[in-house]
Amino acid sequence: MRVFSIFFLVLIGTFIIDQNIKNIFVEGYYRAGECIDLELHYNKGVAFSMFAFLGPYLKWIQATLVVGILFFIFKEGYLKRYAFPAGLLIGGALGNVYDRFIHGGVVDYIAWHCGFNFAVFNFADIAIDLAVVIILIMVYFFPEKNSGMKTETK
């Protein structure tokens, strides 16, 4: 129950923070900077606007992927070890999918242009990237110990 609570609270917290920040930009906030502009963009595709040609089908594809990832996390028992990063990942993903259904595209607002123009992104994207980094660190630097499984010797 504790593990599910961590997962659920991180998921809900990530989603709420993401949607509240996006709402500020949807209502008209804008700030130009030397390297970063905070300005509203609607991304009809995924990273770097890829797959925008899928149009309204993209939101259904992404919603299906999120449900599939949730099913996999619960079925394979990964929630016990990865509750926090899984909450970040699913919370961010749901925030972006929600945008597609409500706004017709993902609400992005952080535009990096220092030295080169980078993709415009948002809090949900940062949460998803952070989740992946945490999972990779846990897998490669803190591997799970064998749970007392006996190996056969011949």
pLDDT in tens, 25-55: 999 999 999 999 999 999 998 876 788 889 8
For 21, what's the count of Cα atoms within 13 Å in the CB-facing half-sphere?
Answer: 22
Query: Which one is catalytic: 18, 37, 125, 129?
Result: 125
pTM score of the predicted model: 0.88
**Does 125 qualify as catalytic in the annotation?**
yes
Residue 145's pLDDT is what? 80
Question: How is residue 115 annotated by DSSP?
Answer: S
Query: Which one is catalytic: 18, 37, 108, 129?
Result: 108
For residue 137, pLDDT over 80 is answered with: yes
pLDDT in tens, 76-122: 899 999 999 999 999 999 999 999 999 999 999 999 888 777 789 99
Instruction: Name, of 5-9, 112-116, 149-153, the range with top average pLDDT.
Output: 5-9
Residue 49's pLDDT is what? 75
Residue 149's pLDDT is what? 46
Question: How is residue 123 annotated by DSSP?
Answer: H
C-alpha 47/C-alpha 1 separation (Å) is 35
DSSP 6-53: HHHHHHHHHHHHHHHHHHHHHTT--B--SSEEEEEEEESSSGGGTTGG
**Does 129 qualify as catalytic in the annotation?**
no
| Contacts with 24 (C-beta within 8 Å, 6 or more apart), sequence order | none
